Amino acid sequence: MSLAIDVSVLPLPSDQDISGRTFGREEVEAITKVLSTGTLTSTKGEFTKHLEIQFAKYMESLHAHACSSGSSALHTAVAAINPEPGEEIITTSITDMGALSAILYQGAVPRFADVDPMTYNVTAETIERCISPRTRAIMVTHLFGNPCEMSEIMALAKKHQLPVIEDCAQAFLAEYKGQVVGSIGDIGCFSLQQGKHITTGEGGVVVSSNPELARRMFLFINKAWGYGDANPDHYFLAPNYRMNELTSAVALAQLEKLDFSVRARIDTANQLTSMIQDVVGITTPTIHSGSKHTYWKYCLDVNPDIIPGGTVALGKLLKEQGVFCAPRYIQKPAFQCQVIRDKRTFGNSGFPFNLAAPEALDYSPELFPGTFTALARVLVLPWSERYQSKHVEYIAETIRSAVGKLVS
């Protein structure tokens, strides 16, 4: 069976260039306004302040602070929790290094929880197995835009008096039981990196309704200098993670387009689901009741017992037809990365791993069945707010044809 290419829809819109992004005159006008003021630093300008006010409203939080990246947002959140060296922060085994470096730079130890192999998210059950006397906080990631089951996680956190950090980098306006993610835990972290729901190239925002955590995050972003205080000083060790006014101006223009971007992604994702949900060997995204998935990416679960070669074979055929998917998403669990596996951190010290309890460094495969199953079976499709029905129809037909070729 040969796969026919419909050149009228190729290449597919990509979030890596203008074909898949919403940039227009609004961003240009916003940047021009900033330049006309001559003030590009957020300590003197007004655009970053306005962004923070608007972002907090969107994310149903009392406070928001803009920073330089999603990674710096996560670092800021961990710093606000203020762990002691060697304390543990429970996180997911399928995550970006930005989440792990945030923990390590604050001298804490990442304690990895297994995931549900169908949602790719941590659960209260997998988190509870990791709680120890050294646990300082829980960091959950709403992977691909699909919310974790937060009721159970928050109940567990309350039981053990642990703060919860939500990594919402891939989950703008995702909801769990009517609440926007980022507003459920103690701190929410967002990324404005190139491929996210809205983008400034690089950038991040932290949100919280806890005034003490919000204050500490503001300080951490600003070298712990007490701007506006009667007698300001550098109160503790902290970097400069400020967002500049040009970036904030673009973010403001993008924020006004967020509802469109999210709605468009959901509509086209639902269209694809309806078109391929009967394809043998394929399971479309698993979404728990009461959750709103906002589709940073669209993930397929591929059953290798039915589709010979599994994700690799299917991904190869899709790529040949211009659907540039990612089998496995990340090639290995986060704890197998060299920085974690070989403790490559600060010189040759191994810090903070040299302070860890042995069980925190136990990465035995049998402890992570969900993780290894998920990575073996997940095929991540690119997604964009610029997709139209014709793009979805092409992707659906390509999937059907590829699966038919493999199982025939």
DSSP output for 139-153:
EEE-GGG----HHHH
- Interatomic CA distance for residues 170 and 166, integer angstroms: 11
Residue from 158, 196, 297, 405 carrying the catalytic annotation = 196
- Interatomic CA distance for residues 393 and 322, integer angstroms: 13
Is-contact 164 185, C-beta < 8 A? yes
189 closest CA partner among 91, 111, 268, 261: 91
State the residue for tokens 């199982």.
407
115 closest CA partner among 398, 380, 369: 369
Q: How far is CA 396 from the centre of its chain?
A: 26
User: Is 196 known to be catalytic?
Assistant: yes
State the residue for tokens 């199953």.
373
DSSP output for 182-241:
TSSSSEEEEE-BTTSSS--BS-EEEEES-HHHHHHHHHHHBTTB-TT-SS--B-S---B-
DSSP output for 23-63:
--HHHHHHHHHHHHHT---TTT-SHHHHHHHHHHHHTT-SE
3-state DSSP call for residue 91? strand
Is-contact 355 86, C-beta < 8 A? yes
Structure tokens at 13: 């819109």
Kindly list the catalytic residues: 196
